[in-house]
Structure 1
Amino acid sequence: MLDKSQLSPTIKPLNQQAEIEKFDALAAEWRDPNGKFKHVLAFNQTRLTAIENAIAQHFKRDLNQDIPFQGLRILDIGCGVGLLCEPLASQGADVTGIDASAYNIRLAQQHANNWSIKVEYKHCLADDLLNAEQEYDVILNTEVIEHVEDKHQLIEICCDALAPGGLLVMATLNRTVKSYLIAIIGAEYVMGYLPKGTHEWQHFVKPQEISQQLNAKGLNTLSVEGVKFNPLINKWKITKETSVNYLLYAEKPT
């Protein structure tokens, strides 16, 4: 059994309510393509494309079809305002998005309704999925684990809720010196892409720490890839470099 302390050698515990309030304050601005989070929106679009490709490859779906993900049950844990939920639902998936912020859920539901996109949004914690009978073909957990105190339990919930043969996608920030310099000093204090204090470096998680716990639950890590910004062309791209942020893909054996 993995020692929980290996996942996050914290200096101080996270205040979970403060984390929720932090993102409540940002919720209304996430979708503005010309707003102060336009850099983050571009990052999210690159990551969405990577996730779509991973789902298509795993389930042998053709992205050139109108609704390639028809019949797939997808759960987005920490869905925010639905930036991943809506595109996946538009491609035919049966999508459920949950978030700890009631404000996020209200904004997400309103946007989905305005565009006639069917997504089931729920205001709840991942803890509420404990012992639930519902299983999902794909579970997304993006930029959540670094804001959660009990990282061990969150991973276990993801593993238990994933259907046999399913795909788990976890995205977060690596706990390295480079991630501190780029994701915190650079992104928050120099460039202002995110408000100061959005992240706490000691709560970042290394990919091998996640893989170790996934393996203990019987899941197999398929691959790990990073998302890197190229200032020369002002675009994000998928890369093998994972020292700052990364997407980890794992499957649950049938």
Structure 2
Amino acid sequence: MALNSTDFVSDDTSPSGQASGFSIDEDEVARFSALAAKWWDVKGEFAPLHKFNPTRVKFIRETCVEHFGLDARARAPFQALRLLDVGCGGGLLSEPMARMGFHVTGLDASAKNIGTARAHAAESGLDIRYLNATVEQLAQSGEVLYDVVLTMEVIEHVADPDAFLKTCASLVKPGGVLFCATLNRTLKAHALAIIGAEYILRWLPAGTHDWKKFLRPEEIATFLADTPLQAEPPVGVSYNPLTGHWSLSGDTSVNYMVVARYPASAAF
């Protein structure tokens, strides 16, 4: 039985204020819950994601247009497709996906994040199905599979990245596609994404990331090897300090994205 918007919703006054699942890192959920009201502040703690968003939205759009053979000139080419945004936070990706025509479900373990996402979508006049649940709960509920599953800048915050990504993959329908974005476990990433971004430039609150939980592209490919999804080589995302803009690049040593496609003929 598929979930509706009231299933698994945690009471914000409960001890945890979050959904449960084997991939959940309670400290990570609590950290982002504490910042829930600031998701849409373009000058606040999530300012880097606001600057990063146009690049990843464009990449998702162009990849999906190519993958599903759609008209790139259409304003909302994805009206027949269902999309799941795992770890949606305040809805920074869910909202542009909905504007492009996707039928969007946003999923987050933090009840406070979901509350922020729902309120902002309502203010924006967007019909987005937001669930306070874990991906494990969604998979176990008998949820209808999705054409597109996003897990963007989430996997480095979970307790069991292998099981988490496999569960995300299980929600992709044959012929669908999964996007995974994360940080590479390199010395360069430690220097730029943690020391630089968190402690020197103060782009993010100190402690947002744990370098030991960053993942190399080959680890992502290994996690997906036991699924029908076929992972492609990673695509780097780089920041230009002179222009203040992010762009796709061949440098995967810090930020990167992986596309994994599910052949229509394959099956779990």
Gap regions ≥5 residues in structure 1: 1-13
State the shift of 1:212 in Å.
1.7
Contact 1:223 1:250 (8 Å CA) reproduced: no
User: Which residue of structure 2 aligns with residue 46 of structure 1?
Assistant: 55
**TM-score normalised by length of structure 2:** 0.86
State the shift of 1:30 in Å.
2.3
User: Which residue of structure 2 aligns with residue 63 of structure 1?
Assistant: 72
1:122 and 2:136 aligned: no
User: Which residue of structure 2 aligns with residue 169 of structure 1?
Assistant: 179
For 1:205-244, what aligned pairs fall within 5 Å after superposition?
205-244=215-254
Structure 1 residues 86 and 40: alpha-carbon distance in aligned structure 2, compared to 1, 3 A threshold:
closer
User: Which residue of structure 1 aligns with residue 27 of structure 2?
Assistant: 18
1:181 and 2:191 aligned: yes
In 2: Cα distance, 1:61 partner to 1:108 partner: 29
State the shift of 1:92 in Å.
1.1
Structure 1 residues 197 and 36: alpha-carbon distance in aligned structure 2, compared to 1, 3 A threshold:
closer
The one-letter code matched in structure 2 to 1:252 is Y
State the shift of 1:64 in Å.
2.2
1:72 and 2:81 aligned: yes
In 2: Cα distance, 1:130 partner to 1:210 partner: 20
Secondary structure of the structure 2 residue equivalent to 1:113 = helix
State the shift of 1:45 in Å.
2.2
State the shift of 1:21 in Å.
1.2
In 1: Cα distance, 2:229 partner to 2:46 partner: 35
Contact 2:45 2:205 (8 Å CA) reproduced: no
1:111 and 2:120 aligned: yes
**TM-score normalised by length of structure 1:** 0.90
Contact 1:143 1:172 (8 Å CA) reproduced: yes
In 1: Cα distance, 2:258 partner to 2:47 partner: 24
State the shift of 1:15 in Å.
7.9
The one-letter code matched in structure 1 to 2:205 is P
Structure 1 residues 108 and 161: alpha-carbon distance in aligned structure 2, compared to 1, 3 A threshold:
same
Structure 1 residues 133 and 33: alpha-carbon distance in aligned structure 2, compared to 1, 3 A threshold:
closer
> Residue deviations 1:26-57, cap 9 Å, x none?
22222122335333310122212111111111
User: Which residue of structure 1 aligns with residue 207 of structure 2?
Assistant: 197
Q: Aligned residue pairs: how many?
A: 241
State the shift of 1:137 in Å.
0.4
**Larger mean Cα displacement after TM superposition, 67-76 or 213-222:** 213-222
Structure 1 residues 61 and 223: alpha-carbon distance in aligned structure 2, compared to 1, 3 A threshold:
farther
User: Which residue of structure 1 aligns with residue 15 of structure 2?
Assistant: none
Moved over 6 A (4+): none
Secondary structure of the structure 2 residue equivalent to 1:223 = coil
Identity among equivalent pairs (%):
44
Structure 1 residues 15 and 92: alpha-carbon distance in aligned structure 2, compared to 1, 3 A threshold:
closer
> Residue deviations 1:70-129, cap 9 Å, x none?
111100110001111111111111110000110110111111111111110000011102
**Larger mean Cα displacement after TM superposition, 137-146 or 218-227:** 218-227
Structure 1 residues 76 and 15: alpha-carbon distance in aligned structure 2, compared to 1, 3 A threshold:
closer
User: Which residue of structure 2 aligns with residue 8 of structure 1?
Assistant: none
Root mean square deviation, CA, Å: 1.5
> Residue deviations 1:4-35, cap 9 Å, x none?
xxxxxxxxxx9822111100122222212233
For 1:146-157, what aligned pairs fall within 5 Å after superposition?
146-157=156-167
